Amino acid sequence: MSLFTCPLCGGALAREEHSYLCPAGHCFDIASEGYVNLLVANQKHSKDPGDDRDMVRARNRFLSGGWYAPLRDALAENLTTLAPENAALLDCGCGEGYYTAGIAEALAAARIDARIAGIDISRSAVRLAAKRLRGGEFAAASCYRLPLADDSADLLLDCFSPLALDEFRRVLKPGGAFVYVVPAPRHLWEMKQVLYEKPYENPLLMPTYDGFSHEDSVSVSRRLTLPNQAAIADLFTMTPYLWKTPREGVERLKTLERLELETSFDIHSYRKLYL
C-alpha cells in the first residue's frame, strides 16, 4: 500500500503498475519518470506552480556537484538516529530528491526498513526526484494539503520549504520526528555582498511550536570556493535571490569568475507530543 492518499476523497491509494487507485475509483496516472500528480486544480495558484525547469536544473547541477554534501550527510545521520526500525518518511518539499536519496541510502546502510515518499509543488522537481530514487514514491502536491493519512509518518523532513505546521501535526504519528532546516545568519553572505548594496543577515531562529518538543539543534557550516561562473550562476539561480535582486546586483555577479563564500545551515529536530 502507498503512503499517499487520494487528494479528492482521502481514501488510501494502492500503487499499481501504471497508476494509483483509491477504493472510490479515483485514478491517478504514474508518469513515465515515476511520479504521480496529486495536485488537484483547486490547490493550484498558477498553471505550473513551484520552481520552474531552469531553477530546478540549476539546483540539480549544483547539488550533484557535491557542494552541499555536508548538509546531506548531517541530515542522513540525524534522521537515521531518529528513525524506528520500520520507518515511514516524508520529505516535504523534496525538490529534485538530492537529500531524499542521501537519507534513503543512510537508512538502508543502517538496516532500517523504510518507506520513503517525497512531495513538491513543482512537477519539474519531482520528475527528477523520481528518477534519482527509484525506490521511493514521489508526487506533485501541496505541503498545505499533504496527501497522507492522519498519524501515518514516523519522520518528516522540511529542508528550506514552507512550514505547514498544521499538516505536519496531522500526518506525524505521536512521538514522530520532524526535522526543519533553515539558513543560518551568515549563509551565502559573500554572495549577498555582491548582490545588494546593504546585505542583511538571515534571522537567527530557535523556534518552538505547539504540539512539538524541541529535541536538538545542529549547525553545519562549510566554506566553498566556486571555481567558475557556471557554478556561481547555478547557485544564484537555485536561491530565492533570483526573484528579488536588483539588475545591477545580478550584473555584478555575472562578472565574477570565482567566488569564495560561507554556507551555513541550522538543523532543528522536534518530536510530536503524545496528547
Mean pLDDT of the residues in the chain: 95
| Sequence spans of domains, the chain | 48-272
| Distance (Å, whole) CA 212 – CA 272 | 4
CATH class given for the domain over 48-272: alpha beta
For position 47, what pLDDT does the model report? Answer: 63
Look up the pTM and report it: 0.95
Residues near 78 by beta carbon (within 8 Å), at least 6 away in sequence = 179, 216, 218, 267, 269
The pLDDT of 149-157, averaged and rounded, is: 98
**Which pLDDT band, with edges at 50, 70 and 90, does 204 fall under?**
confident
Question: Which of 35-49, 80-94, 102-116 shows the lowest mean pLDDT across its residues?
Answer: 35-49
For position 50, what pLDDT does the model report? Answer: 75
| Distance (Å, whole) CA 97 – CA 104 | 10
Given a cut of 60, whether residue 44 has pLDDT beyond it is no
Residue 173: burial class (beta carbons within 10 Å; 0-12, 13-18, 19+): middle
For position 187, what pLDDT does the model report? Answer: 97
3-state secondary structure of 52: coil
The pLDDT of 236-242, averaged and rounded, is: 95
